[in-house]
Structure 1
């Protein structure tokens, strides 16, 4: 058990670098098993989710080597071992092994995964797509058994809801299916483009990634390649939020502006002083921020994963505003924790109502999920006094060296081991 201790109120200055995208990495690792030779991924973030996936690969007899943010995956001797329970259930992104195993072996047994609980995340869209491709599926108490007695075949699949996970899983399942697969109403996130880029380097024939219609012509085999992962737009947005709230002059490197355009637009609306460079964002001190209202949308709209890290910034702004998360309306676990620190926030049905500016004070709080944890870290940087954050394992799932990066900017933050008090 660990906790973060933050002594808030310190101004931030300096520069930090953004890592490769978590949400890309967790899809690219399962994609790599489709190759017949080693795949090298560069810019891999050193986070808990990556280590969990490496452990799962080991159970499949896939050799890996991970050092200096470079992950080599060798699936040459991979075995299709049933994984109904255990490690496979430790994180949500493990469901991408369904599409990858279906593509590689035509069969697979996977236990339904976990990860952060943000309300129901049905996988019916994933299973519908697999069935359309020709798979037979049994779902017995959360254990999914996939088989293809007649093989896979390309087809037309319409996504009832825009879903990143289902789009990725369908691409993985279809990439070796004979014929053409067309995914309509596909998600358009940068991470999907990154996945398609890797697979195309490996020999796949995928067109239209980043648009709402993706066309896939099945291929017989895929080969190993080297690929550099895109920067993490959510990590970038998190540190930009902290810098706008508490920064004097902060430069954040390895940022693709187009990936965070909707987020930056909201900061402009608030009156934040920024300079956008080719691969960086510089933030200057702003003392008179205006409150705004946020509505999360599928990409290229405002990202649901930035809703929580943005909330403390709204709390130091003047006026009244609302947050409406159309992707995960139940993403509100950070609200009572912020109110414990002195915020004035109410949850009214599916709408979060904020009044600012709030004077935040340090308090003991708990990170219930990854992005709620990022929110509380930023709130702790803003607050007067000492904030103790437990549930740190949720934060470590998605942020590499968060303590070191914030210290580099002048924050007073440390991670301590604590005895399990339960």
Structure 2
């Protein structure tokens, strides 16, 4: 049984590497074309950033594979031998936390390089060492306290109920819903500085827009995202009474009122089309399938890892192998997401205007240095949003006649 999972991980690893190499080769060719969507000065920069980021991803994927082999060959059994407590829930908390912390330490060099080297090189990261340490300590505190409670809860369910995977799914799904409700509150209290919009004219326009579509929120806030990053973004956070509109200060600074309203109109399209509930439903279905699989694994899998089939090992096996299932479900989930994005674009452009949405997307692409072209296989697996060229085509914006047909003639997608 272990062999099947290892083969699955090798396929997952191979697909990751293959798509990354295809993407690097594609972008290297694409950056020599006439610039589209991005300003000429930013087109090459965005291509170089995309290539460098993908090369780091390739190295990280190889490194992750080595870590995976380390865990399944001797790491898990060695860690298990060090945790000698007889309490099943305490063993689960110590064992799972130790596994996650070791993984985090091993992959930390890639995170530090991306934050302090790559993103700073391309003008994204404003992160300081002090802020990074503070964020890390706060995140660690949240993880150790709340994460340990969740691990203990799952361990109790595993050891108490014969069909534990059904109750475990219900427990984790409820936790995820709760986290989504509390997310903006946690960010406000521990990480970011949320403020009511100082631009009262803009606040009034946004509230009018929200009333127009029947979206009730606890307020419109600006967040000091620029202390960490220069990218532009906005989101609707929370569920129920905690819902709020959050605008990055970088977005407020760079976009006009009409462009901001167009971006929010797009997000409201997700609300009106029920995409939030659909996504929760899809997530719940996927989680249910995962729990059904990992809740009915044969004992021989755990014997192959030199572990007992108990709460601590079941949770870690879930953490190690669930990315495989997620990867092969990704194309279907991404396809649904891209369909929803087109519908949200249509709603947002009708709510404001197509010109405003196009202008907003152009600014977002330029400020975030988002390279507009990608290999079709890469899009198929990883793009939760449609390519910018396709979004603009649907909005009636001419990207210098670089249609999909022309691109297919320029590149050999089968190489």
Same fold (TM over 0.5): no
Greater strand share, structure number = 1
Instruction: Give the TM-score taking structure 1 as reference length.
Output: 0.27
Question: What is the TM-score when the length of structure 2 is the normalising length?
Answer: 0.27
Structure having the higher helix fraction is 2
Larger radius of gyration: 2
